[in-house]
Amino acid sequence: MKIRPINAHVLVKPLEPADKTPGGVYLPDTARERQNEGKVIAVAEDATEEVAVGDRVIYKGFAGTEIDLQGEEHVLLPSEDLLVKYVAADAIPE
pLDDT band at 94 (very low <50, low <70, confident <90, very high): low
Note whether 75 and 61 are within 8 A (CB). Answer: no
Round to whole Å and give the CA distance between 82 and 16.
Answer: 18
In the chain the domains, ranked by start, together with CATH numbers, are 1-16+32-80 (2.30.33.40)
pTM of the model: 0.77
Indicate if the alpha-carbon torsion angle 49, 9, 79, 38 is positive or negative.
negative
Q: Strand 72-78's sheet: what is its strand order?
A: 65-69, 72-78, 9-14, 37-43, 56-59, 82-85
**What is the per-residue pLDDT across 56-73, written as a single tens digit (0 to 9) for each?**
999 998 888 999 988 889
Looking at residue 59, the DSSP 8-state letter turns out to be E
